[in-house]
Structure formats: structure tokens, C-alpha cells
Amino acid sequence: MRRMNDAAFALPHRLRRNRQSAAIRGLVRETSLAAAQLIHPLFIKEGTGDEPIASMPGCARLSLDGLVRAAEAAHQLGINAVVLFPAIAGDLKSPQAIECANPMGLVPRAIQRLKEELPDLAVITDVALDPYNSDGHDGLVSPAGIILNDETVGLLCAQALCHAEAGADIVAPSDMMDGRVGAIRAALDHEGHTSVSILSYAAKYASAYYGPFRGALDSAPRSGDKKTYQMDPANAREAVREAQMDEAEGADILMVKPAGPYLDIIAGLRNATNLPLAAYQVSGEYLMIKSASAAGWLDERQAVLESLLGIRRAGADMILTYFARDAARWLRE
Ligand code: PBG
């Protein structure tokens, strides 16, 4: 009989066998991350020249020329979709948020430029009133300070139509008003935009992690908070209700936001629906990794790829992330 190595003992399962080389680790890897799964959020502004965003190092408010350059660079790295966020000049913001549906506005012009210059890139637009609303809320605000649901939905439909007319491939309502997905679907179909998709922010939480983004767009609520429409971070079952409602109303893709602190929500929705799922790694998640790595306390590349892989592992098909370009480049190396 062969003598057992003194140090070895009988152990039927040694999980380390599947980790012993890069080749074997590659064979047993359960989750993949690819540039084609990433969506790049981009901030846009009027005029020439790009402006760095103080609250989001490495991000800038881009002129339309800068937008085309950034989108093209991302596209060349295998990223096939961008989502646009406009910085609207203060004098165009109003309590009626009327600029949101201006066919000559910043977003429609940006969509047209992108579709002219990069026709294969999918253009996604954010549908919500906060960049346009002088109150800083995603919906219209009554004199008593109430966020008005049904009045807002009418305006969101006009905004979505305006984006569709300009050539948007996907509209993404992020406002959390009830009934907006169905209303937007009906409005789009009525005007013949049957192939414009709806990516619904189904489970969007009232999160502290949006802080740096609101700094980028000067869109923080002027009074109150967003807790009467965005979800309570304590709730998970309610996310399933939101998802089911948006699915029934005709959403094509559902989103969970933020991503990292809500991986259980992503996993829960993965089981509750067969729609494709997106997750948004938001500005605060970006800033935490950026600042820790700028201080030399984290390896940025490894932390970014690990955070994105974790979101994929939880069940997201696609991820919106400000790291999209860096991640796509790192995935190629
Ligand atoms: C608003 C909107 C927000 C974000 C995307 N769309 C902010 C908010 O709800 O206040 C946040 C994105 C981020 O933090 O990266 N409609």
C-alpha cells in the first residue's frame, strides 16, 4: 500500500483544487463581466469646453463635442450604451419644469448629435424633472409642498416623447411616480414610437449615495427630501411590488438603484421577474472607491472590478457605472 504523506489526511472535498491555477479558476468561474454589460452615464452642458465636477473627480460636464468624444472613446472600448444627464442653466429651471420637454433643449440636441455620429451606440435618457425643476424634485411640487403624482406623469410623458422624437433608443424614468411606465408606454405608442424601450427605475431608494450627483447637476431638493416617492431603504418586499407593477405596465428592463448596498434587492428581483435587470452603481459608490484609492488606501482597479462583479453576481444583467470606461479598458488588458 502507498504510504500517505505524513501531513496529508483523508478529505474527499478539497475546494482548493478548483483554485490551483488561473486556467482552472477560469473554467469554474461562475460570473462574467464584459464591456457590453456596462452603460456609461455622461453629464452634459451648454456651450463649449468641459467642466470638471468637483464632487465626482474624474467626471466632467461635457459640451456636445466633448460628449461625442467621450461616447466614441467608450464605444471603441466595447461599451454600447450611454445615459445622459443634463446640467440645466439656472434661468431655465422653473417650478413647472417646462424645459424638460423643449424639443430644442440640451438633451434632444445631444441625442441627435450622438445618433448622427455614432448610430450604433444606444442612447438612454433619464426621464424625471429634477434637473429642470427649480424645486429640485423629480415631480411637480404643490404650493403646500406635496409632490404631485398624476400632474407629474403627464409632463414625464411629454419629456419621454421629446426624447423619442430626437432619436433616443431607451427612455429611463427615474422619478418614482406611480403609473408613469404605463402612461409613457401609451404615449410613445400613440405617437408611433413602438420600438423605443422603457428602462424603469423600479426600485430606486431614497439614498444618501446620490449626494455627489446632485452636486454635479445642482439638483438637490430645495426643501424636504425625496422620501415620499423614492423607496425606504428598509424595504425589500416593496421592491418586488414596484417591479411587478412596472412589468405589468410594460417596462422592458427594470433597474435597482443604488447597487452595492442593495445587492439583496437585485438578487430578489432576479428571482421575482424574468425581465432583464439593470443596477446603478451611483455617484456615492463611485466617490467612495475614488477617494479611498486616491488616498492610496485601495487598489482602484481591483476594487472597481470586484464591485462590478459583485453586482453581476447578485443578478444584474447590465450596470450603469461612472467607471464604465476604466473598467472596459481594464477588462481588455
Ligand atoms: C434623479 C436622478 C438621481 C440620480 C439619477 N437620476 C438623483 C436623485 O434621485 O436625487 C442619481 C445618480 C447618482 O447618484 O449617480 N432623477
Per-residue H/E/C for 176-240: CCCCHHHHHHHHHHHCCCCCCEEEEEEEEECCHHHHHHHHHHCCCCCCCCCCCCCECCCCCHHHH
Positions annotated as catalytic residues are 204, 257
User: pLDDT band for position 4 (50/70/90)?
Assistant: low
Confidence category of residue 217, pLDDT binned at 50, 70, 90: confident
pLDDT at res. 150: 97
Q: Is the CB of 126 under 6 A from ligand 1?
A: yes
Domain-embedded: residue 221: yes
The answer to whether position 200 is within a domain reads yes
pLDDT band at 9 (very low <50, low <70, confident <90, very high): confident
CA atoms of 248 and 174, how far apart (whole Å): 17
**Which structural domain, as residue segments, surrounds residue 76?**
33-332
Whether the predicted pLDDT of 1 surpasses 60: no
Q: What is the mean pLDDT of residues 264-285?
A: 98
Residue with cell 409632490: 147
Q: Which ligand 1 atom minimizes the distance to the CA of 211?
A: 14
Q: Helix crossing, 180-190 with 237-248: angle to 10°?
A: 20
Checking if the pLDDT of 59 tops 60, the result is yes
3-state secondary structure of 79: coil
Q: Is 174 in the pocket of ligand 1 (CB under 6 A)?
A: yes
Position 227 in a domain? yes
Q: Is 330 in the pocket of ligand 1 (CB under 6 A)?
A: no
Is 229 within the bounds of a domain? yes
- The predicted-structure confidence for 276-307, as pLDDT tens digits, reads as follows 999 999 999 999 999 999 999 999 999 999 99
Quick check: is 211 in a domain? yes
Asked if the structure places residue 6 within a domain, the reply is no
Ligand 1 pocket residue status of 214, Cβ below 6 Å: yes
pLDDT digits (tens, 9 = 90+) for 159-173: 999 999 999 999 999
In a domain, 75, yes or no: yes
Task: Kindly indicate the confidence band of residue 3, based on its pLDDT and cuts at 50, 70 and 90.
Answer: low
As a whole-number percent, the residues of the chain with pLDDT over 70 amount to 98
| 126 CA to centre of ligand 1 in angstroms | 9
Whose CA is closest to atom 7 on ligand 1?
A: 210
Name the residue of 56, 133, 137, 174 whose CB sits within 8 Å of the most ligand 1 atoms, as the mutation to test its pocket: 174
Residue recorded with cell 451606440: 121
Nearest residue CA, atom 6 of ligand 1?
A: 174
**Strand-pair partners of 43:** 61, 85
**pLDDT band at 218; cut points 50, 70, 90:** confident
Query: What is the CA(28)–ligand 1 centre distance, in A?
Result: 37
12 found inside a domain: no
The residue whose C-alpha atom lies closest to atom 5 belonging to ligand 1 is: 174
Residue 282 Cβ inside 6 Å of ligand 1? The answer reads: yes
DSSP codes, 1-37: -PPPPTT----S--GGGGGSSHHHHHHH------GGG
CB of 147 shorter than 6 A to ligand 1: no
Atom of ligand 1 lying closest to residue 210 CA: 14
Give the CATH number for residue 229: 3.20.20.70
Closest ligand 1 atom, residue 138 Cα: 16
The CA 11 to ligand 1 mean position distance, Å, reads 51
Number of structural domains in the chain: 1
Residue nearest to atom 9 of ligand 1 (CA): 210
